[in-house]
Structure 1
Amino acid sequence: MTDTSPDTSSLILKPASRPRPFKTPRTVLALMMREMQTTYGRSPGGYIWAILEPVGAIAMFTLVIAVGLKIRTPSLGSNFPLFYATGFLPFALAMSTARKISSSLRYSRSLLQYPGVQFTDAIIARFLLNFLTQLMVFFILMAGIHILFNLSTIRDVPAIALSLGLAAIFGLGIGTMNAFLFSISPLWDSAWGILTRPLLLLSCVLYIFEEVPWQYQDMLWYNPLVHIIGLMRRGFFATYDATYASPIYVLGLAMVFLVLGLLFLYRFHRDILNR
């Protein structure tokens, strides 16, 4: 009688392949290391320039306003560098985060062609690296100002942490939305650069919200950076309440931009990368 059963002697049973655990964190870490090398590792001075840029801006504000205009005291406190640092550093955190995230797809375009690398990996990597860098700059400059001028301030740590967190999240939301808009419209890239140039003057970096004429305060209130900077100044100046600051407004606006940006990128990121 002929045996018609299939011959299984040559078959080798292999365990089913399992997906690698923690794939996204490893990918994000690799992208962060790559950017650290390309952005800071190849330029003379590296991270020194990340510190010198805000130092130069704060020094310029102090020289122009305190020395040039001969104004003896800032709007809050008695130290010009501290006053301008509490305005410029959260402003720089939000704007640099938005700028980094908005170019994340273009920066990692070649790596995003691999199936193991997602567009969200590129966004997370740039966000984390920029946030950690700006956080390092913040602590170094604030410590330096306090030591150099022998300052003793009563710090509201929750208000400072809230300001830094909102600045990072707002930059992430705006940057994610712009990552999509810049990819589909190069004209918006140029228009955004023009539209954001006056923001330094319209975000209460050089003055406080209460000094704005009352007829313009209602319009300026809708600028989320005004709230972020107000919270930071509440953290360093005990007499400043910044009652106008609304963390819920900033967070809500940031989440709207973030969700919309992610939805558009999820739908169109392959079309964008294949252009």
Structure 2
Amino acid sequence: MPEQVVPPKGEAEQVKAVSTHHIRFSPANRARSPIAAVRELVDYAPFIGYLTRRQLRTTYNRSYLGWIWALLNPIIVLAIYSLVFGVILLVDRANLGNSPTGLDSFPHFLFSGLVFWGLFNQVSLGIMTDFQNSVLLRKKLYFPAAAPAIAMAASIVVESLLEVAVLIAFYVAVGNVGLPILLLPFVMFIAVTFGVGVGLLLAVPNVRYRDVGYLYALFLRLFFYLTPIIWPFAMITNRIGNVWVQRAAEWNPMAKMVHVARTITYDIAWPDPTDVVYLLVVSLGVFALGFTVFNRQAADATEGL
């Protein structure tokens, strides 16, 4: 039996959970087949659950308002963007949507995109950061490399449920709600699956070269404005002359996701089945690719430090 390594101060609580669930130590830490890796994650479900609860407990630790911030943050961000783009810069409101109730509200239009963009953003960045922080611990004891990433994504989903609840309340308050809103969990699934896939793809390169994380954060800022979040999806065909650029913009997965979210909430309509299938294929494909690449590279990243 390998000698147990005493963990650094501050990690004792996590190690206690690890030892409780029969974690093996790092000499066996080698890349496995994706199917074996998935089975291992299932075996470590109690450990992943522990990490998720721990993350949720510490999210707003030492904060007077605590989880109230989970409600205040999206509202404050919405107010800022609504002021800047809806009042100061006067975003074109002619093509906001086709609400059957006659709703003409830039804040509602904006919020429908912000919530799910934020979910993707937090999940992808969170996974990269969490894997980076867990690498040194995995040099001392064994647990699945993807376990902290799954736990991080799960905790972000729980927090985002509050934001989605606020979004629904915003639409209920103005009487702009219908059965299509039941598809919001599908949009959350797309955002999380796509975010996990991208995060896993970049997690190992980010450990080796920290520039990856900085460049990705900058890319997300640019990508935010290239995605129809603060501007209508219809502007793609109205303002872009080159047909190839139009097609690329229209089939941007994040643009499709935001468009589907707005169709469900703002337009109170069922999304185009083609968009639904496309989002499922792309998000699951990116997730499968990210998980496979991560599973092959994670062990080498741990041993290389």
TM-score, with structure 1 as normaliser: 0.80
More contact order relative to length (CA 8 Å, sep ≥ 6): 2
Q: Counterparts of 1:113-262 in structure 2 under 5 Å?
A: 113=139, 115-143=141-169, 145-146=170-171, 149-212=173-236, 213-215=239-241, 216-238=245-267, 243=272, 246-262=275-291
**Per-residue deviation at 1:245?**
6.4
Q: CA, structure 1 residues 191+67, in 2 after alignment: closer, same or farther (shift >3 Å)?
A: closer
The answer to whether residue 91 in structure 2 is matched with residue 65 in structure 1 is no
Which digits, 9 at most, give the CA deviation of each residue in 1:25-46, with x for residues without a partner? 2101111122223332234433
Q: Structure 1, unaligned stretches of length 5 or more?
A: 1-18
Query: After superposition, what is the alpha-carbon deviation per residue over 1:81-133, rounded to whole angstroms, capped at 9, x for unaligned?
Result: 21111111111111111111122212333543454521121121111111111
State the aligned residue count.
256
Distance 1:251 1:182, change over 3 A: farther
Cα distance, 1:71–1:184 mapped onto 2, change above 3 Å: closer
Q: 1:267 to 1:200 in 2, by over 3 A?
A: closer
Deviates more, 1:191-200 or 1:257-266: 257-266
Q: What is the CA–CA distance in structure 1 between the aligned matches of 2:205 and 2:285, rounded to whole Å?
A: 15
Quote the offset at 1:204 in angstroms.
0.6
Larger gyration radius, structure 1 or structure 2: 1
C-alpha distance in structure 1 between counterparts of 2:126 and 2:171, whole Å: 30
Letter in 2 for 1:196: L
Q: CA RMSD in A?
A: 2.9
1:35 is aligned to 55
Alpha-carbon spacing, 1:115–1:248, altered in 2? closer, same or farther (3 Å)? farther
- Which sections of structure 2, spanning at least 5 residues, go unmatched? 1-21, 24-39, 98-102
**Distance change (3 Å), C-alpha of 1:116 and 1:146:** same
CA shift in 2, pair 1:242/1:26, >3 Å: closer
Are 1:263 and 2:292 counterparts? Answer: yes
Q: Given the two structures, how large is their TM-score scaled by the length of structure 2?
A: 0.73
